[in-house]
Amino acid sequence: MGFADKFVRSLGSHDLRDDAFHHDLDAIAAAALAGDIGSLLSRVKYADGTVNRLFEGNPQNLANLLRVWTNAVIEKGRARRWVKEGTAWDAQAAQALYRRVAESSLAQWLDGKCKPCGGAGQTPERRVCTVCKGNGRAEVQGGGFERERVMDMVSELENLLQSHNTRAAMFLRRSEGLNSNA
């Protein structure tokens, strides 16, 4: 079982006692120790059900994630000089671009499945989906420049989640080692 699975199971646990027999809290503690945006990414994508069960999801987590991610994209866009911000109009256009990239990349990362085929890559008649050409992924909307930035940020989101899960799993292994020695 990967760290993400343990984390999601811990979030749904009804028994968060921390003693020699109960360890559901360990994954949550490991996620907190790992820090960064990764814990929120895991919570929104896997635990809140925002993709598949909107009525059960926690919209506050999604709103927080969007706010944090938008700020991160603005920082990355400025550092990578996506747009020259020489005049007030340039700065305003840059802000609009950063926000579109942040919103599109987060939406694509959370649920990038092709809508017509549901991510299966084929139609109910078992033919290749003409929209996604059989790969099951929705195409990112927008011009070439913006699409490249969105895909770059989707990759950043995935890297953030993977590095967070790796660090949290390390903390969890340490915790499990301490529990077995006790």
At 124, the amino acid letter reads P
User: Is the separation of the CB atoms in 109 and 154 below 8 Å?
Assistant: yes
Q: What number of H helices and E strands is found in the chain?
A: 6, 0
Model confidence at 40, pLDDT cuts 50, 70, 90, reads: confident
Alpha carbon of residue 71 to chain centroid: 15
Please report the pLDDT score of residue 24 as a whole number. 62
Please report the pLDDT score of residue 149 as a whole number. 95
Model confidence at 12, pLDDT cuts 50, 70, 90, reads: low
Please report the pLDDT score of residue 178 as a whole number. 58
Please report the pLDDT score of residue 15 as a whole number. 63
Helix axes 88-110, 144-181, angle to 10 degrees: 50
Residue 122's beta-bridge partner residues? Answer: 128
**What's the total number of domains in the chain?**
1
The better pLDDT of the pair 35, 37 is held by 37
Map tokens 């084929």 to a residue. 122
Residue partners of 101: CB distance under 8 A and separation at least 6: 73, 77, 146, 149, 150, 153
pLDDT in tens, 115-154: 888 888 888 888 899 888 888 888 887 778 999 999 999 9
Q: What distance in Å separates the CA atoms of residue 129 and residue 136, rounded to the nearest whole number?
A: 8
Helix axes 88-110, 59-79, angle to 10 degrees: 130
SS3 state of residue 4: helix
pLDDT in tens, 67-102: 999 999 999 999 999 988 888 888 899 999 999 999
Helix axes 24-34, 3-11, angle to 10 degrees: 110
**DSSP of 110-172:** H--B-TTTTTSSB-TTS-B-TTTTTS-BPPPPS-HHHHHHHHHHHHHHHHHHHHHHHHHHHHH
- Assess whether pLDDT exceeds 60 at residue 175: yes
The sign of the dihedral angle between the CA atoms of 55, 61, 64, 65 is negative
Q: What distance in Å separates the CA atoms of residue 59 and residue 142, rounded to the nearest whole number?
A: 26
The better pLDDT of the pair 83, 51 is held by 83
**Helix (H), strand (E) at residue 44:** none
- Give the range of the structural domain holding residue 139, as residue numbers without chain letter: 3-181
> pTM here?
0.74
Mean pLDDT of the residues in the chain: 80
